Structure 1
Amino acid sequence: MASPMLTIDRSSVGCDPIELYGRLRLAPRVDEWSEGKSTEAKIHRIHPYPAKFPAFLVAAAFDYAKAEGLDVSKVADVFCGCGTVGYEAAVRNFDFWGCDINPVATMIARVKGLRLDPDCFGRHVDTVIDRFPEMSITPAISEDAVRRLAPWYSENQFNDLARLANAIKLEGATDDFQMALECAFSAIVKPTSFWKSRSTKPARDPERTPPLVLHAFQRQCKLMSEAWSQVKTRCEGNSKVIQGNITVVNGPPQPVDMIVTSPPYVTSYEYADLHQLSALWLGFADDHRIMRAGIIGTGHRRTNLGRSLRDMNRVASRVVFSLFEKNKALAEAVATYFLDMQIVAKRCHDFMRPGGIAVFVIGNTKLHGVAIDNANHLVESLLNVEFQKIRVVKRSIMNKANTPFRSADGKLSGSPNAMHVYGDEYILMAHR
């Protein structure tokens, strides 16, 4: 790849702190990492997902590896989310291993990796729709889950979703088709609710008029059928997606050639909260709050600063100390994120073969006026676990819907009158 890049190697370990903190400002902004040139496959739209990883970035990462002379056959994504990297690896016949702590995300990723016959899927959908009118309005989930779900729906919408869920369970399809039907159901539980449109936090809009459940389900299944009609029917690579926390999960069975991933932003997206409707309806949890445990980037996990200070690298320590003066609880949450990401760097190094390349897409933000230097912290973490060199470019993300700004209380906002926090992301290409 002929693009200009900033190169940081291990000679910067132990460098002067002033140089350390300012090094990424020299990274160039590169067009091919900012915008795709082709239309994204429809399969990537089969389920809503916050901060979804653009498919063209995966292609750019593979192009970079090829230009570097890396022969790729095994790829991993340690924050696989809804499975974009997995799908893009599969169409190139690469083996893929992915993990994510979120059960809703891993379900979507697995479905995205299926190669279902559209006509056969359509017949299962028709059977579900035919059974729908006669089904019970009592959902097969716990009373706690029902109590948490009910406020998000009108009585009629809730009853129809219960009927639909029961019809899908009764269908008795094979595992792959059953999972696909559940994914279609999951994709409509938020649009058919009073959840405020395009909200990055749980927010109810009682004035909203959601679509009818059955109509939404039919449209969703049509989209999925169209997506499968476009995908490559046979892939030679093996794909495995597991639910688990990257800091403790068993890694790939064999070393991988490449990791392509996008770590979460610290305290920005509370994935357990944003996916609560799907998690509750599908029985993944009776209380979505238990899913927060172990999530990297959540504001609900906090570390004791006195005990953790010795483990944080220099970038983390500077950020956390600056934030501590503004908000102690937030400083503790950010410290937890940084410590987790240092473990992630080590695990990625362990997962890869010598000569492999890990590509990270990561952005910075601001909290209470303090720059949260996620990208520079990750660079330092990667060097500390003996990645040999890191190349860095910037990409513009100003077209990212509803996320470039924060209001005064720290909440994400689409208003240009709020504080601008998401103008750029960094692409870090770490060579093992």
Structure 2
Amino acid sequence: MISSQEAEAKILQLVSALDREIDVETVDLTAAPGRILATDVTSSLDFPHWDNSAMDGYAVRYADVQSCPVTLDIIEEIPAGVQPQKRVEMAQAARIFTGAILPEGADTIVMQEQTRREENRVTILQAPQCQEFVRHRASFYQAGETLLEAGIAIAAPEIAVLAAAQCTQLTVYRRPRVAILSTGDELVSPEKTLQPGQIVDSNQYALAAFVAQNGGIPLQLGIVRDRPDELKDAIANAIASADFVLSTGGVSVGDYDYIDRILQELGGAIHIQSVAIKPGKPLTVATFARKDKSCLYFGIPGNPVSALVTAWRFVLPALKKLSGLATNWSPELIKVRTQFELKGAMQRETYLWGKVQLIDGYYRFVVAGGSHSSSNLINLAQTNALAIVPLGVKQIAAGTEIWAMRV
């Protein structure tokens, strides 16, 4: 067995990001949320587009208002979106509103709360700072510079920036294709009537949701019986059609666990076979060379909690790197205080599922109630974090500060 850190590092070394020349597509701005930018974005616009007012007030010459009070003539009114028509000269001011273009001659804004108006004249009651409340052209961004860098995920803030910059067509990485298959004679799909000894294949659906939520395209290949020939055909088809393959079951040491042998028969190079974690110890990671791009294979335990823990811990970092994300591939770890006593497995790093909540300024972890068996997926619902009990630790007392992994 190798440690989780060794396994993650090895997996990330095996992953090559999608090619920014080949593995890209163009999407409309409305279809961009959740996608990864494949090229740097620039704009032909300055931000702000012109010198403008950050306040409702009066545009003035600073030279006229250094000694106050002083009364100025109002020469025009400038709402937002209207081009000024006059130049502000000595002893003059223009009524101006937030966002409106600064008129020629003016260099400072006096907020209206520091003025008193009488018909077409305004008295400035308090001297402003030079250039106060003026937003200068290109002070936020200069046209032609990099606006957004390749390798970032597009979310609501980026959409706002892109819309303002009039970037309506974007080059993004294609979504990674992830084939998912479940192995086992005991498995049936959810719509079937259960017979004695049968189990509903929840892994197929959980992993498909996991892939879709993290930007991939799940290719659900269904259930494959524990027959070496059928498994070999199914795995060969999966390898040929996907960037990653996730198979559940068949990677332990039972009489019907054929996966590792079949991977080798198909020409796969096996890099990992077990990791010192609980749940999720049996983990096979293999690579397959192809003409276009290599395929990474994850043989994941069949127990449903083990399957998801393994996906969160090891598949997600690989999927992030593959997708074109430039940084932050590793799981997000946060410091929390456990509200309950936690028990570890000593020889394996232990992950206990539950909820993290921010209470009184502290992140607190509440372990899910009931059995923490890798086959008990019922108390997995609403999980948002995994508490980590390190190797060699048997017990952690309630109230102790620990690391937890967000999921």
| Larger RCO, structure (CA 8 Å, separation 6 or more) | 1
More helix by share: 1
TM-score normalized by the length of structure 2: 0.23
More strand by share: 2
- Radius of gyration: which is bigger? 2
TM-score normalized by the length of structure 1: 0.22
